[in-house]
Chains A and B, each alone.
Chain A
Amino acid sequence: MKNVTQVLKQLYLEAPDKVSVHLLFSRQSDQAITYRELLHGSARYAQVLKQAEIRPGEVVILTLDHGEDLLTAFWGVILNGSIPSILPFLTDKLSPEIYRKSLAALFGITAPTAVITDPDFMGEVQKASKWTSVRAIISSVEVQNRISDINEVNFDQLRGLTSPLEDIVLLQHSSGTTGLQKGVALSHQAVFNQLESYSRALDLNHNDVIVSWLPLYHDMGLIAGFLLPILKRIPLVLMSPFDWVRAPYRLLQAISSYRGTLCWMPNFAYNFMAQKTRHRDLEGVDLSSLRAVINCSEPMYWKSHKMFLDHFQAYGLRSDALATSYAMAENVFAVTQGGINSPVKLDVIDQDAFLSRQIAEPVGERYKRKNLWLQSDQNKNPSVLNMLSAGQPIEDTNVRILDQQGVDLPERHVGEIALQSNCMLTGYYHRPDLTQKALLEGWYMTGDLGYLANGELYVTGRKKDLIIVGGKNIYPQDLEYLASEVEGIHAGRVAAFGVFNERTGTEDVVIVAEVDYDRLEARQPGSSDIQDQTERIAAEIRERVTRGSDIALRYVHVVDRNWLLKTSSGKVARRANREKYLSEFSGV
């Protein structure tokens, strides 16, 4: 097996003129980048890092906008033998102060030695880097100006060429203070094992064209929408998530014009695209080349598939192109894949048995006939749940379902999903405590709930208190911290959780916060209008959380003291409060 630099060398020598990436932009024409150009650009970054005395094995943070530099900087870090980690960059809404804090949180644990960023962002990074391990802050423009063009890559001088397979090749972080302190470290070996197994599960072949709008700081974008195509010599058509969210039809136009065959999206994107794409923007669009649109990264709903199919079937989308996957950074990416050689399985189960006994009991054939895949109406049959299969485990990945004591559960019993594979994480970077907690006798405990039936995995929920919005992992404690800072709120008396929204196909974030009337009165004597006060508090929580996190907070409920349920140890019980919220405010 070769390491990443050795594979890049082979691609450079064997297919220099092949287009590796078509970069799409909203205000300029598409840019085709060959393997030769990609490696020449990457070698420049490797040279800059070497000059800055950044050594193999050191972490380099990339915070760059969509464009060629993001791609070449990433590979350049690897060519240097260092470890890249791509982070989101500052958006309009996020307050710079919060971003700086997040970077500082990351620097504290990960101890990177260099940051590569866009020129407008240098100031922020410099401020965040003071008194940290960061020795070099490199501007993408400076690299273009300072380093002359490279006409030939001398691989023998690249320190990445000799990186051992078991060394860490990259880090992946999810967002927020908590996510940034938990970098998933992956080795060359793990990455290639995943790419091999996943390619087979996908029947990946040289007629494939991958089209992606996913951000590269996200697992799905980084692996399925970047590493897989480039290292497996499959053309990639890449657009920016910022452009996609403003004009989702452009993705469909790109699929049509490049004859895209594979596309990955989180569940909400199915709803989003169906609801926000106008037919007039799709004139002449032909989606018949798509052989798999893969739903991944957040709970999958067959209603979202149906909505997507109903809307785009007229443009040639085939119903058998709808596919699913269960994936996570801790397994590099895919754990399972469904819907490639046969349609995604739909398991029609009894709702009562599922809710009361956590057993997925299939309902009789009679119901099944009434509930034919993509033709049924769940509302007419409230006692039935339509579960979408995530498919079968990919090669060399094993899945078990365990009860609370870690004992295997029988088929169709819901328990925690545990996995073991040849592509697991090396560990959480510099966090042996978290690594140890996540592994049980060599099995990674996912924190997700699900069941197995006929070799297929069905993911049904989460054991951990994680919120997933549009495929992005959000840690509730980060949001609760932000809300607690609002005046008039009891510190520690806040609960954040997700509630599924059928219209958008993803979770809405809800915050319930207890108000401290005594302190309000003391601080603002005479302000007796409680209604006004709670409205001000709710507005402030919305603003603070929106500016301080990746989400736009809509649902805030300011409640009286002692509304929130607590555990015996006095901590706010998110799950129980979510139930209480649903029973009291649902439909509000």
Chain B
Amino acid sequence: MDETIYSNLSQYIVIEILKQSIREIAADEALISSGLIDSFNLVDLALYVEDNYSVHIDDTELNADTFDTLDQLVSLIQERIL
């Protein structure tokens, strides 16, 4: 797993979505199925990924089946960057 992508995404989620200053997100922590990221923020996450990695995540993919953890999201980004 790319540590830079991981830490950037983690930081983005903690600060911009969760609005918490002290919090870490484990690579295997459930994000969507747990409700940590609610549906109103999924589109933000998709736009962030697109702006920073030029990787498109379709709106039909914004669910826990496509990715639910940072680990899975980073893999998805890496696959599509290539």
Nearest residue, chain B, Cβ from A538: B20
Q: Is B7 close to A, CB under 8 A?
A: no
Hey, what's the 0/1 contact readout for B19-42 against A, CB within 8 Å counting as 1? 110110000000011111111111
Residues of B within 8 A of A535 (CB): 22
Residues of A within 8 A of B42 (CB): 245-246
* Residues of chain B at interface, number, CB under 8 A: 24
In Å, the complex CA distance between A551 and B62 comes to: 18
Residues of A within 8 A of B22 (CB): 535
Q: Is A243 close to B, CB under 8 A?
A: yes
* Residues of chain A at interface, number, CB under 8 A: 25
Q: Is A519 close to B, CB under 8 A?
A: no
Given contacts A276-B44, A546-B38, A552-B40, 14 further A-B contacts (CB under 8 A): A26-B59, A242-B39, A245-B40, A276-B43, A278-B47, A535-B22, A539-B23, A546-B36, A547-B35, A552-B35, A552-B36, A554-B18, A554-B20, A555-B19
Residues of A within 8 A of B60 (CB): 26-27, 246
Residues of B within 8 A of A276 (CB): 43-44, 47
Residues of B within 8 A of A551 (CB): 38
Chain A positions within 8 Å of B, measured between CB atoms, are 26-27, 92-94, 242-243, 245-248, 250, 272, 276, 278, 470, 535, 539, 543, 546-547, 551-552, 554-555
B18 → chain A, closest Cβ, in Å? 6
Contact A246 B32 (CB under 8 A): no
A152 → chain B, closest Cβ, in Å? 38
Q: Is B63 close to A, CB under 8 A?
A: yes
Contact A546 B43 (CB under 8 A): no
Contact A92 B40 (CB under 8 A): no
Contact A248 B33 (CB under 8 A): no
- Do A246 and B43 contact each other (CB < 8 Å), given the known contacts A27-B60, A555-B19? yes
In Å, the complex CA distance between A26 and B63 comes to: 13
Residues of B within 8 A of A470 (CB): 40
Contact of A92 among B33, B41, B44, B59 (CB under 8 A): B33
Residues of A within 8 A of B35 (CB): 92-94, 546-547, 552
In Å, the complex CA distance between A94 and B35 comes to: 8
In Å, the complex CA distance between A272 and B38 comes to: 14
A397 → chain B, closest Cβ, in Å? 33
Contact of B34 among A26, A248, A278, A543 (CB under 8 A): A543
Q: Is B76 close to A, CB under 8 A?
A: no
Q: Is B64 close to A, CB under 8 A?
A: yes
In Å, the complex CA distance between A276 and B39 comes to: 13
Contact of B38 among A93, A243, A247, A248 (CB under 8 A): A93
Contact A92 B63 (CB under 8 A): yes
